[in-house]
Amino acid sequence: MKLIKTRIEGVLVLEPTVHSDGRGFFFESYNKRSFERIAGINREFVQDNQSHSIKGVLRGLHYQIDHPQGKLVRAVSGAVYDVAVDIRRSSPTFGQWVGVELSEENRRFAWIPEGFAHGFLVLSETADVQYKVTDYYAPASERSIVWNDPTVGIDWPRSDGPIVSSRDMAAPRLEKAELFA
C-alpha cells in the first residue's frame, strides 16, 4: 500500500497494492496490520456504511459532535470528489479543506480522522461509496456544515448546481456550527 499525505495533517490518501492479470484483479480492501504499519491508523472500526448516488449528488458536510467518527472511505463503483474540512477550533488548519478523487479505477481510500466534516460529490453516472467508521451512528449527535460555505471555500469540480438534500441545504455555515474544541 502506498501512503499519500495531504496538506492537512492526519487526512491521508491510501493506494492499495493491486494484483492484476487476465482474470481481473485482487487487493486487500482492509488489513488492520497494514493500515497501522503504513499509515498509523490504529482504530477499531465498528460500522460499515454504503451509499448509492446518481451523478451530481452532493452528500455532506457531515460529522458527529459527541460521537466523532473517523472514516475510511472508498468508491467501490464510479467516481466521487471526496472532501474533509478541519472543524477543530484549536487546530492550525481550522476551516481548511482537502479534496481527492476516489474512483473504482484508482481504488484509492481516504482516511478522515475524527474532528473533520466529510462530504462528497458524485462525478460519474452513479457511484457506490463505502466507508468504515470508528463510532456508531448517533442521530442526536449528527451535525452538518453547508456544502457551499464561502468561508470554507471548497472548490467543488462542477460548475452547475449539485443535487443536495433539503437537510444539507439548511445546514449552518462554519461560524454558526457546533464544532470541536
Would you please indicate which residues are annotated as catalytic (active-site) residues?
62, 131
User: Within 13 Å and on the Cβ side, how many CA atoms surround 163?
Assistant: 8
The residue with cell 460500522 is 47
Three-class SS state of 69: coil
- Phi, psi for 5 (deg, rounded to 5): -80, 150
Cis peptide before 58 (omega within 30 of 0): no
